[in-house]
Amino acid sequence: MSMVFEQILTEGIAQLSYLVGDDATGMAAVIDPRTDVEIYVDLARQHKVAITHIFETHIHADFVSGARELAARVQTADIYLSHEGGPDYGFEHKPIKDSQTFELGSCVLTARHTPGHTPEHMSYAIAEKKRPETPWGFLSGDSLFADSAGRPDLLGEGQAEELVEQLFNTLKGFYLKLDDGIVIYPGHGHGSPCGAEIGDRLVTTIGYERRFNGFLQFSNAKDFTEYAISTAPPEPTYYKRMKKVNAKGPPVLGGLPDVPGLPAKAFRAGIEAGESVIIDARSMLAFGGGHIPNAINIGASPELSIWAGWMLDPETPILLVIEQVGDIEKAVRLLLHTGYRKFTGYLVGGMKAWDNAGFDLDTIPQMTVHELNQNSDGLQILDVRTPTEWKKGHIPGAQHIFLPELRNGVLGKTPQAVECQLDKQKPVVTYCDSGYRASLAASLLQNQGFADVRNVPGSWQAWTHAGYPVSKVEK
C-alpha cells in the first residue's frame, strides 16, 4: 500500500491540478480540477481510490472550475472552499479556515491561508500522518510558481495595493520561512498569464526559489510592489468573466457539449443565419490555402483555450471547421476550458465537402522570412506579439499591435492605433513567434476588409534562426 500522488497538466492554459490520497484507505482528494473531469475519474480507478474531497486553492480567473462537475460525477466527494478573505460563493460547499487539517489515510493535508493573488487564496501542506507538523511538500496554487508568483492585479486597481502587500507577506513571511527541501507543486506552469514569465519546471523547491526567484529577492514592500506590478503580463479579457462564473458556480454539463454534424449546405445556412462565429481550427497552412469567408483561424493546438478566451464571446454559438473528425473532441475540450459550450455544429466532410459543393473560398498567402527579408518595400509589417516580446526584439520596420487589441486597434479605438496606422489598401504581413497568432491576426484583418493580407510561417523564430537583422525598442 502506498501514497497516491498525480500531477495533471492541462496544456494551453498551463494549469496544474492534483490527485492526492492513500490506496490503503481508498481515499483521495482532487485539488483545482478542470471541467472535463474524466481524467480524475480514470486516475482514481487506476489507483483503486475513491475521490472523497475536492479542494480549490482560490476562485480561478483563467479556466472554468471543474469542482461542481467532478462532485456531480463521482457523488462521493464534498467541495471544500476557503472562507478566509471574505469570498462570496453561489453554490454548495464546505468552508475551510487557516490551519484546518484533512486526513487521507497516511497523508495529511493542512490548509494555509496564503493571500496575495486573491484575498481567499489557500495553499495545502502535504505531510505524513506520523509527522503532521513537518510537511514535505506544498500545493502552492497561484501563490508561488517556479521563477514567479501569482499576479496581484486581477481584482482591479482598487484592491491591487492591498493584494500586493498580502503577496509580499505571504512570500516573505510564510514561504521563505519554510525549509529549503520542501517541494513546491504550483498551480501553473510556463505559458500561463497568471504570473510573470513562469518557469518551465512543473515542480520546484523552496531552496531553489529562495536563490533564483525574482519575487523572493526583496527586503522591502515598496520595491516588491514596483516589481510585481511592472512585470505582470497583459490581463486576458476573459479573466473577469471566469471569476464571476467560478464564484457563482459553473453549470454542471454531465459531459462534453454536443456538436451536431452539418453537411456543407446546412453549414452555409448556419453562416447565413448570422448568429454564429466560424472558427477554423485547422493548421495555418491549411487555412491559408483555402478557407470559408469570414472564418477566424484558431488552430486546434493547446493555445486554442487562451486565444478563444481573448477573442470570442461565449454567448455566440460556434460553427467549427476541423481537419479530421478526431479533432472535434479535442477542439471542444480546449474551448470548454475557457467557457465555450455553445455550438451550432461542425462541417461534415471538412473543407473537401465545402469545395465540392462549389461554395466561395478565401485564401491568405504565406510569405517566408527569406522573401520578407529580400523584398519588404511597400509592405506593412505587423508584429502581434506581447509588448514584452516586442521590446526584446522585432523585425526592422515593423509596427506593433498586441493581438487581442487588433479588433479595436485597426479601427482606431485603442491608444496603440494612434501609433500604428494600417492602410487597408496596402499589403499587410503579420508575424508572431511561430505563426499561430499571426494566422489568427491575418484572418481578423481579412474579415475587416484589408485587401491584401499575408502570414509569415515560422515568424520570429524563423527570422532569428535565419540570422536576419533585429531591431529593439530604445529605453
User: Which strands make up the sheet holding 204-205, listed edge to edge?
Assistant: 101-104, 107-113, 122-128, 137-141, 183-186, 204-205
pLDDT at residue 320, as a whole number:
98
pLDDT (mean) for 108-134 = 97
Q: Is the pLDDT of residue 420 over 80?
A: no
- Tell me, what amino acid is at 115? P
pLDDT at residue 156, as a whole number:
83
Q: Is the pLDDT of residue 411 over 60?
A: no
The CA–CA distances, whole Å, from 284 to 94, 230, 289, 356, 455 equal 46, 33, 9, 21, 9
What secondary structure does DSSP assign to 231-295, as a single string?
A: TPPPPPTTHHHHHHHHHH-PPP-SSSPP--EE-HHHHHHHHHTT--EEEE-S-HHHHHH-B-TT-
pLDDT at residue 325, as a whole number:
86
Q: Which residue has the cell 486597434?
A: 409
Q: Is the pLDDT of residue 475 over 80?
A: no
In three-state secondary structure terms, 320 is strand
> Which residue stretches of 13-156 are H helix?
38-46, 67-74
In three-state secondary structure terms, 65 is strand
pLDDT (mean) for 418-424 = 69
Distance CA 13, CA 6 (A): 18
What does pLDDT average to over the chain? 94
Helix/strand/coil percent split, the chain, to 5:
30, 25, 45
Torsion of CA 309, 310, 316, 320, to 10 degrees: -70
In three-state secondary structure terms, 376 is coil
pLDDT at residue 421, as a whole number:
74
In three-state secondary structure terms, 96 is strand
**Which of 93, 97, 126, 102 lies closest to 113 in space, CA to CA?**
97
What secondary structure does DSSP assign to 163-226, as a single string?
A: HHHHHHHHHHHTGGGS-TT-EEEESB-TT-TTBSS--S-S-EEHHHHHHH-GGG--SSHHHHHH
Beta carbons of 401 and 417 less than 8 angstroms apart? yes
pLDDT at residue 2, as a whole number:
84
Q: Is the pLDDT of residue 281 over 50?
A: yes
pLDDT at residue 385, as a whole number:
96
The pTM assigned to this predicted structure is 0.93
Distance CA 221, CA 228 (A): 10
Cα 336 to chain center, whole Å?
12
Contacts of 112 by beta carbon, 8 Å cutoff, 6+ apart:
98, 99, 122, 123, 124, 125, 138, 174
Contacts of 156 by beta carbon, 8 Å cutoff, 6+ apart:
none
| Per-residue pLDDT reduced to its tens digit, 204-219 | 999 999 999 999 999 9
Tell me the β-bridge partners of 262: 347
Question: Kind and range of the H or E element at 47?
Answer: none
pLDDT (mean) for 39-50 = 97
| Per-residue pLDDT reduced to its tens digit, 429-469 | 999 999 999 999 999 999 999 989 999 999 999 999 999 99
Give the length of the chain: 475
Q: Is the pLDDT of residue 395 over 70?
A: yes
Beta carbons of 22 and 3 less than 8 angstroms apart? yes
pLDDT at residue 410, as a whole number:
46
Distance CA 140, CA 113 (A): 10
pLDDT (mean) for 15-41 = 97
Q: Is the pLDDT of residue 257 over 60?
A: yes
What is the β-pairing status of strands 296-297 and 277-280?
parallel
Phi, psi of 172 (to 5 degrees): -80, -40
Question: Kind and range of the H or E element at 400?
Answer: strand 399-400
pLDDT at residue 416, as a whole number:
44
Tell me the domains of the chain and their CATH numbers: 3-248 (3.60.15.10), 261-356 (3.40.250.10), 369-465 (3.40.250.10)
Question: Mean pLDDT lowest for which of 229-233, 331-335, 379-383?
Answer: 229-233
Q: Is the pLDDT of residue 149 over 60?
A: yes
